[in-house]
Structure formats: C-alpha cells, structure tokens
Amino acid sequence: MMQTERQGWREVRELIHEWVLSGRYSPGEKLPRDADIAVELTCARSTVQRAMQDLADSGIVERRRKGGTR
C-alpha cells in the first residue's frame, strides 16, 4: 500500500505564495475558493484556510468575508 505524503499548511502557504509571485494570479485578481484549492492540492480545506490566513497576516493576499481572497 502506498502512502501519500501530507502537506502541512506551511508547504501550502509557500506554494500559493509562489503562484502569486509567478503571475499565476494577477494583482487584485480573485483567487479560487479555499475548497477548490484544497481539491487541487489534495489536502484539507482547513489547511488551505490556515495558509491563506498566514498569507493575509503577511500582507501577501487580502481576505474579505463574503468577498473572497485577492
């Protein structure tokens, strides 16, 4: 049986940060929902939420309730 390696929120944070810096998402562009990113990365939505919150605390992204993440 193969075991898949779990991604921690720090790894998810670094990946999303890399996406922003690489231009995958333009400044001001709305990012996908946390749930959609979780499916893409095959991790828990709570892992993405924690990563996004850290990115928001660092000023990399802006999160607004009912407005999404930019």
pLDDT mean over 40-48: 95
Ordered by where they begin, the domains of the chain are: 9-64 (1.10.10)
Gap between the Cα atoms of 16 and 14, Å rounded: 6
Place of tokens 């995958």: 24
Contact yes or no for 63/52 (Cβ under 8 A): yes
**pTM of the full structure:** 0.86
Backbone angles phi, psi at 64, to 5 degrees: -130, 135
Could you read off the pLDDT of 1-39 as tens digits, one per residue?
444 567 899 999 999 999 999 999 888 899 999 999 999
